[in-house]
Homo-oligomer: A and B are copies of this chain.
């Protein structure tokens, strides 16, 4: 067997064990009884170790080199490139660092849960310091392996090809745009009569009935997947087995609806990956920016459009019963309401990037050492004042709100807003190609949009670089311009 062919067989095996991890994680979040947390941790640790052994096997390095000399198709060559990327990530850190980092993250994440509940940053600060020290060390190792700057090397893990130098102008552009735009939106909202009426509480059984309808509309195949309940919504799975979860908010039934539409966007990406490259690195999704662009294409671009919300209001009324909140104009204003707040996960799409821009600036400063951990709460609160004009009342609603840093995820935050911007850029291109998309959405039909996303994004897997994928789909590199145009149209009704 040639080197390349042997690699395909080995990566297939690694992918199969990855599927097993996926099932165990899903089960842990949805089904597993509480006393099983210990054994499940051991199971996942053994699978992680197995993956490491399979992927860092010295044979792989030799096979990768041998395969370079073979006569490969374009897709095989792209697959080989992705294999080398995975091998580099897996072998960049020595075992001691992997173990130290894993332990430091566990300890810090555990302490963070208590610190957030008590709004007590000091209690977790020394543990965050440990995480940052070890993250600096691992960033240096990845930087050496990939020939990148340390923060870029961390970014690379979540957003292949993304660099700080690419993010800066995009985020600076948006930060400059936001204050004036936000003021206009808020003024306009007030002029239109202030806060819309919120929907009445609804039983989870009725919420589930509405969600099932929407999942079908968006193409979620119930024979090839499941929808369950978990503490936080997520999407997971692999071809043939897509599982999404939902959290029912008894107070507002439309929260679960929008969350499911978001997760269906993620699931559609995974389901649309090239089947002939299943279980190979080139057949996998292309990082978190593209993934988030797919969930936001459905949730934000399509599902909060005037056309779709008009249809959705009728569906909500049919399933949940009559409610003045479902009057179309009120429902649109409710789903498109903009209001600066402290919490990222509940932010509207206008203010969301401010949360991300702040975190991106702060995590870069923390990593470089320009910002010390003790000064984080002050820097956070100052940033929120500057970006959104609000005074953070406590660290629980400030720098303690997100798990990411405390669990060692540095370089992840930018992907949320880059994904939102990419979703807007994709929507412009999709609508230019298929002007009938809004009309279909007005009937609750996602099929033309899904077909377009399938062709432009899903079916490409990791064959292209992110830049090439985005330019191929939209005709230009990623920037904030489409997103700003989208917001101006939606929130100021200007074209």
Contact = CB atoms under 8 A, between A and B. Distances in A.
A50 B226 CA distance: 29
A224 to B, nearest CB: 4
Interface stretch (A31-39, A66-74, A108-116): A31-39
Interface stretch (A175-183, A233-241, A410-418): A233-241
Nearest to A224: B35
Nearest to A237: B36
Interface string A19-59: 11001100100011111111110110011001000000000
Given A27-B27, A39-B239, A39-B241, A47 B32 contact: no
A16 interface: yes
Classify the interface of chain A: helix, strand, loop or mixed. helix
Interface string A221-247: 111111000000000001111100000
A47 B385 CA distance: 54
Contact of A43 (B20, B37, B223): B20
Contact of A16 (B20, B46, B221): B46
- Measured as residues with beta carbon below 8 angstroms from the partner, the interface class of chain A is 20 to 34
A17 interface: yes
A39 to B, nearest CB: 5
A13 interface: yes
Given A19-B43, A20-B24, 13 more contacts: A19-B39, A20-B47, A23-B23, A31-B226, A33-B224, A33-B240, A33-B241, A34-B223, A35-B224, A36-B241, A39-B238, A40-B241, A50-B50
Interface of A: 13, 16-17, 19-20, 23-24, 27, 31-40, 42-43, 46-47, 50, 221-226, 238-242
20 contacts: A13-B46, A16-B39, A17-B43, A20-B20, A20-B24, A20-B43, A20-B46, A20-B47, A23-B23, A27-B27, A31-B226, A33-B226, A34-B223, A35-B240, A35-B241, A36-B224, A36-B241, A37-B240, A38-B240, A40-B241
